[in-house]
Amino acid sequence: MMMNFIAKGTLAAALVGGLLVSTYGCDQPKPKCAAGRVAFVGVYKNSSGGADCAKLKGDTLGISTYNAPGKEGKPNLDIASIAIQSESLGGLVADSKSAGAADKDPTHKPYAIGFFSTAEPEGDFCAVPTLTVATQNIPAIAADPDNKVKAAPATSVSYTWSNAKFYVTSSALGTQFTADLTITTDGKACGYSVLGLSPAVPCGKDNPASTEDKPLPKLPDVAACAPEADEDAGRPTGSGINPDFPTRCDPELLLCVLTKDTIPALK
């Protein structure tokens, strides 16, 4: 299910200007702090909450960068914020709206927002120490067979993000990040350390033993993570992942992920 990403604010598309080489010297200016503009895969490493929490291995994340308005209607590149929304929470919102049971509290948002603490990276990193809490309180959903709506109990879900850190250089504009995350569902809190990579690239392939009568789960396809195209193998384009990043196909998420636990993860 596609995520409903936040549509307001001014995207930091003007980052390209930070990559231009100065006319008067050979030094390249530092890029401005920002997150990659394509969906991330977030790998979740459980840190608290017990065995049930460890079952959640990751999610697809929408992360957008916004800049405060500046002079003459131009974005102020020195003041930037990010919004993070998980596909799981976005899907819950979409399903509840379809069933006529959306969260009616206007202060509750499915995304978290936080500001970069600096305008430019310090030691190739840009930090977002604190973010607002993404919260949704969904009322009970009554069954509606005519509209294919299944009954569901009321639920409350919140995502608390903190200590987000993005790797930002002229060759990797915020496409790796780490963060701490607590997901609280109906009072049960699960803590995770998150390792993120953009773009989020699927890497599952059909199981040749699968049949229509007996479908089998997809298999990991590490070739799908390769940045290079291979037309002979049926891949007319590469994955779009930075070729400097070491990746593998996660067998559970069936998404391309980094092979290292810390950033920067480089070959």
Residue identified by tokens 């980052």 is 15
User: Which of 141, 166, 198 marks a domain boundary?
Assistant: 198
Q: Which of the residue ranges 63-67, 149-153, 192-196, 214-218 would you say has the lowest mean pLDDT?
A: 149-153
168 and 90 co-located in one domain: yes
Q: Do 249 and 161 lie in a common domain?
A: no
* Number of structural domains the chain divides into: 2
Check residue 140 and give its pLDDT.
Answer: 86
Strand, helix or coil at 74?
coil
Pairing between β-strand 125-130 and β-strand 155-169 as defined by DSSP bridges: antiparallel
Domain boundary among 145, 168, 198: 198
- Rounded to whole angstroms, the Cα distance separating 161 from 153 reads 26
Give the residue from 198, 223, 242 where a domain finishes. Answer: 198
Task: Specify whether the CB–CB gap between 183 and 47 falls below 8 A.
Answer: no
Confidence of residue 27 (pLDDT cuts 50, 70, 90): low
At 26 the pLDDT is 56
Q: State the Cα–Cα distance between residues 137 and 127, nearest whole angstrom.
A: 29
CA distance 227 to 242: 7
Q: How confident is the model at residue 212 (pLDDT cuts 50, 70, 90)?
A: confident
| Interval 243-250 mean pLDDT | 97
Kindly state whether residues 194 and 207 are assigned to the same domain: no
What confidence score (pLDDT) does residue 87 get? 97
Q: Which domain holds residue 215?
A: 202-267
Q: Between residues 51 and 12, which one has the greater pLDDT?
A: 51
Q: Is residue 4 part of a domain?
A: no
Q: Do the strands 125-130 and 134-138 form a parallel or antiparallel pair, or are they unpaired? A: unpaired
**Residue 3, SS3?**
coil
Which helix (H) or strand (E) is 64 found in, with range? strand 58-69
Residue 263 CA to residue 201 CA, distance in Å, equals 19
Q: What is the DSSP letter of 267?
A: -
pLDDT of residue 150: 79
Asked whether residue 5 is assigned to any structural domain, the reply reads no
pLDDT-derived band at 128 (thresholds 50, 70, 90) equals very high
Give 140 or 176, the one with higher predicted confidence. 176
